[in-house]
Amino acid sequence: KPGFIKDVLGEFVPLKLAEYIFQACGGTSKGISFKDLLCGLVLLTRGEEPEKIKFIFCLCCNEAGTHVYKDNLVRLVQACDNGYVPEAIADCFSDSERVTFEEFKDWLLHRRDATSLTNWLLVEKDTVTLSNELETPTFYQTLAGVTHLQES
């Protein structure tokens, strides 16, 4: 789990959110399978909007996967937004303390930027990538790393 959080998601994802993502990607106390890791990464980086909405729903729904309770969503949002809960959350639960997937999806389609998580996955789509071009090693750096040779 710590390796997933540090090496896969990186230091910019809040710890509590990283734990939610780890569990949503199939992580357990024993770790995460390669297949689950790969599926999670593909979803985060290349997933279509309906898939990402379903993923966000799964991050905060009840164990049965049928509803999102207001308390669960508030906990997730607080973990992502340093304790701040946007007013948009109240709009989602105007009629009840829980919503179905369809109700959640309808709300989210109108409020894609409601939280930092939804903004990150649904609005700023190009910010989630599998590589960082700024840190890609040159051919010579790669060769030196493999051969353990240094420039003189």
Checking if the pLDDT of 109 tops 90, the result is: yes
- Residue 7 falls inside a structural domain: yes
Counting the structural domains of the chain, the total is 2
- Residue 150 falls inside a structural domain: no
- Residue 119 falls inside a structural domain: yes
Contact call for residues 77 and 22 (beta carbons, < 8 A): no
Residues forming beta bridges with residue 55, ordered by sequence position: none
121 and 54 in a single domain? The answer is: yes
According to the model, what pLDDT value does residue 128 have? 56
Q: Which of 17-31, 39-53, 57-71, 89-103 has the lowest mean pLDDT?
A: 17-31
According to the model, what pLDDT value does residue 21 have? 79
Domain containing 59 equals 48-126
Q: Which residues 6+ apart lie within 8 Å of 24 measured at CB?
A: 40, 55, 58, 59
85 and 107 in a single domain? The answer is: yes
70 and 38 in a single domain? The answer is: no
Q: pTM for the whole thing? A: 0.71
Strands 98-100 vs 67-69: parallel, antiparallel or unpaired: antiparallel
According to the model, what pLDDT value does residue 67 have? 92
120 and 60 in a single domain? The answer is: yes
Q: Which residues 6+ apart lie within 8 Å of 26 measured at CB?
A: 32, 33, 36, 39, 40
- Residue 149 falls inside a structural domain: no
Q: Alpha-carbon distance 22 to 37, whole Å?
A: 9
According to the model, what pLDDT value does residue 125 have? 62
Nearest to 107 by CA among 71, 75, 68, 51: 68
81 and 54 in a single domain? The answer is: yes
Q: Which residues of 100-136 are buried (b: 16+ CB within 10 A; e: fewer)?
A: ebebbbebbeebbebbbbbebbbeeeeeeeeeeeeee
Contact call for residues 40 and 9 (beta carbons, < 8 A): no
